Amino acid sequence: MSNSKKTRFVRGPINGISEFKLGNGLKVLLVPDHSAAVVTTMVIYKVGSRNEGPGNTGSAHFFEHLMFKGSRRFHEGKGNNLDALLKQIGADYNAYTWNDETVYHEMVSSEYLELCLALEADRMRHLRVTREDRDSEMTVVRNEMEQGENHPSQVMSKKLWAAAFTQHPYHHDTIGSRTEVENVPLANMKAFYDLYYWPNNATLVVAGDFETDEALAKIEKHFGRLPRSPHKIPRVYTVEPVQEGENRFEIRRAGNLYCLSLGYHGPQATHPDYAALDLLCQVLGSSSSRSSRLYKRLVEGGIASSTYAYIRAMADPGLITLDIDLTPEASLADAETAVLDEIEKLKKEPLGTAELERIKKGHIKSFRLRMADTRSLAYQLAGAEAAADWLWLTNRERAIAAVTPEDVQRVANDYFGRENRTIGSFIPKTDEEVAAGNNAAEEPDSVAVKPKKAKKRRPADPDAVFKTLARFTGKKPLRTSISQRITSRTLANGLTVNVLTEKVGTGVVAVGAAVRAGNYFEPQSRQNLSDIVGDMLPMGSKGLDKAALADRLIELGLTSGLHVWVRPFVAQTSLQVMREDLGDALGLLETVLREPVFNQADLDTVKRQWIHRYREELAEPGSMAQNALGSALYAPTHQFYQKPVAEQIADLEAMTVADLKAFHDQQYTPGNTILNIVGDIEADAAIALI
């Protein structure tokens, strides 16, 4: 423990997490883990779109961009700006803005922990907010807005929340209003920064390879000197009034896909009903959970190409959302009727105990797996701190375990009422309407930014980055190289197995498989055949149909299912399980990769999903540009030549089950496969399970 009087120990360790509080109000969460020589730092500011109002919407997101432009000690003028420093050391860093929070994070080799602390502390109170940076980043943010306008799902989400919330600031999107982002005065932006960016409105998370006393000393050194805000941080006191009738909206614009969204007002994360609603959403499920009710009813029924039901953990009451992308053959009325019918079943018929227990078991295992990885845990802590506090996260397992079938039925009746919902439809315009320019809600013309004469500055010190790194670099941990710690075996059937023992004590093991079955190996007449095979593998295997396979995956904690990603040369899949489940997981992975059942009905479903994807690409300039580039770079006879989308659709429609079987038999062999096992298990024990 630190001996400093400036820092107070609060509680812990709980699930490996210890809480401290600096004298200036900064909350510090430390999660030491010496299994790998890396550390994640994360600063969570309790400011998001929830803290904005008319006139300054998008401010938190705008600052997400500006916070990378420079601070008092680290900026381009000195030659040691944040980007230059973090890129030089190979850091993985970024930021994100959400309704309740803005989060800045870095993952670095552990000797650079102090550098990250110095960078974050300096921009917490000493950000350089210049007009030049404001103008340059405004165009970046505006471009981000325009990209979002090309995605029906983003457009629908934005409109759904705007229609459902009439008074609470969840009404507006995190990216804000275009005209406000373009025209907000610099003085207003500085005032927003001075209102919210203070130690007593932030949480610092440090997770990974560090010693607690040393880390606390460095935190005090850099953050302890910052003052507490001279004012009370404004609280959000607006309460959304009870909705008194169904809301409906429709969006008509250029596009190729019909979409349906439903939003029901739901509780905040700390409400006792949140856990039951979270499980209810998993019962309804998504297109990645092939045993879920919406998948069976809508995707298998040919009504939807994808479905998703979810509830966000939020500081204030939010929405329970259901998103459906329709197939070309289905109507909006078909989709709405099917969704509402499944909801009515949940109201009238209690869940079977076995169904709920399976979902609860999978949810709890998934939670434990996420908590075992320090980087994943840091993200979980960020969300918990924004919505409630980190103890909410550590209590999740208990809350989920306590939910009963009666609880799920009760919340279905309490929240899924007609008067509590908003329903939105995305209706693509016809070519004739688009050609006629029938766009009633065109955005205003963009504000032009006048170029300014660059200020003369002294040349930056070319060695500034290296001098800065020298000041903040700690002692590099002495560790044996990973290659020396890997046990590699080639089995009699040609399968290559690599095992690395890591994260001892966590009880968690990760498995990855790579098969030489990428796009390079598919015939010219069947472009994307390798991708279709990859999508079909989790659709059922010998002795397990897709629903039974999905249930088995949920029981292992793989609540998002199993996915196969196809690259130019390989097809890859991965999973993470508890050590006691490794044998079952390997057996399941073997049957998925080696003994798939390709049937026509599932192939038809996958084809519909891919046609949906193609239609999205036709409406997305970036995707069309990528396709054109792939056509221009390679000759038509080259394996990486990209056919025009229309030809790819023709190839897809011509694909047969026989094509899939032939490709699978040729490529998915043990000799073409590498299996990697990393985690809390000895090599001999892992290999014995294969």
* Mean pLDDT, rounded, for 590-600: 94
- Give the C-alpha separation, 428 to 252, whole Å: 6
What's the confidence (pLDDT) of residue 551?
87
Please determine, for residue 358, whether its predicted confidence score (pLDDT) is greater than 80: yes
Tokens of 627: 């396709």
CA distances (Å), origin 668, targets 121, 181, 268, 494, 671? 51, 51, 47, 12, 8
Q: Among 116, 111, 112, 110, which residue's Cα sits nearest to residue 36? A: 110
Asked if residue 121 has pLDDT above 50, the reply is yes
> What pLDDT is stored for residue 439 in this prediction?
52
> How much is the pLDDT for 4?
44
Q: Give, as one character, the DSSP assignment of residue 314.
A: -
Task: Determine the pLDDT at residue 427.
Answer: 94
Q: Which domains does the chain have, with CATH numbers?
A: 7-154+163-223 (3.30.830.10), 247-431 (3.30.830.10), 482-688 (3.30.830.10)
Render pLDDT for 229-242 as a digit per residue (tens, 0 to 9). 999 999 999 999 99
- Helix-strand-coil percent breakdown of the chain, rounded to 5? 45, 20, 35
Say what the pLDDT of residue 546 is.
86
Q: How confident is the model at residue 438 (pLDDT cuts 50, 70, 90)?
A: low
Locate 13 and state its tokens. 């360790």
- What's the pTM? 0.87
Number of other CB atoms surrounding residue 583 within 10 Å: 15
**Tell me, what's the pLDDT at 338?**
96
- Highest averaged pLDDT of the listed ranges 307-316, 443-452, 476-485: 307-316
Percent of the chain with pLDDT over 90: 66
How confident is the model over 603-614, as a mean pLDDT?
A: 88
d(CA 56, CA 61): 11
Question: Which has the closest alpha carbon to 348: 423, 390, 408?
Answer: 408
Whether 171 and 161 have beta carbons less than 8 Å apart is answered as yes
Averaged pLDDT score across all residues of the chain: 90
CB 677 within 8 A of CB 510: yes
Q: Is the pLDDT of residue 41 over 70?
A: yes
Is pLDDT of 506 > 60? yes
Task: Count CA within 13 A, CB hemisphere, residue 60.
Answer: 26
Confidence band (pLDDT; 50, 70, 90) for 480?
A: low
Buried (b) or exposed (e) across 425-444, using 16+ Cβ within 10 A? bbebeeeeeeeeeeeeeeee
Angle at 166 between CA 164 and CA 168, to 5 degrees: 100
Query: Residue 1 — very low, low, confident or very high, per pLDDT cuts 50/70/90?
Result: very low
Task: Of 338-347, 505-514, 637-646, give the lowest mean pLDDT range.
Answer: 637-646
pLDDT-based confidence at 629, cuts 50/70/90?
confident
Q: Tokens for 322?
A: 């259901």
Average the pLDDT over each of 91-95, 574-578, 647-651, 667-671 and give the range with the smallest value. 647-651
Specify whether the CB–CB gap between 14 and 29 falls below 8 A.
no
CB 547 within 8 A of CB 527: no
State pLDDT tens for residues 144-197: 888 888 788 889 999 999 999 999 999 999 999 999 999 989 999 999 999 999
Straight-line distance from the first to the last Cα atom of the chain, in angstroms, rounded to the nearest whole number: 44
Q: What is the pLDDT of residue 99?
A: 96
Query: Using CA atoms, how far apart are residues 452 and 135, in angstroms rounded to an integer?
Result: 10
Strongest mean pLDDT among 2-6, 100-104, 130-134, 576-580: 100-104
Residue 201 has pLDDT above 90, yes or no: yes
Model confidence at 456: pLDDT above 90: no
Element (H, E) at 323: strand 319-326
- Reported as a single tens digit per residue, the pLDDT across 236-272 is 999 999 999 999 999 998 878 899 999 999 999 999 9
* pLDDT at residue 441, as a whole number: 45
* Residue type at position 233: I
pLDDT in tens, 7-35: 899 998 999 999 999 999 999 999 999 88
Check residue 196 and give its pLDDT: 97
Q: How far apart are CA 285 and CA 561, in angstroms?
A: 11
By mean pLDDT, which of 55-64, 298-307, 629-638 is the weakest? Answer: 629-638
pLDDT of residue 3: 39
**Residue 647, pLDDT score:** 86
E strand residue ranges, 432-568: 486-490, 496-501, 508-515, 540-541, 544-545, 565-566
Mean pLDDT for 607-624 is: 80
Over its C-alpha atoms, the chain yields an Rg (Å, rounded) of 27
Q: What is the pLDDT of residue 408?
A: 97
**Confidence category of residue 2, pLDDT binned at 50, 70, 90:** very low
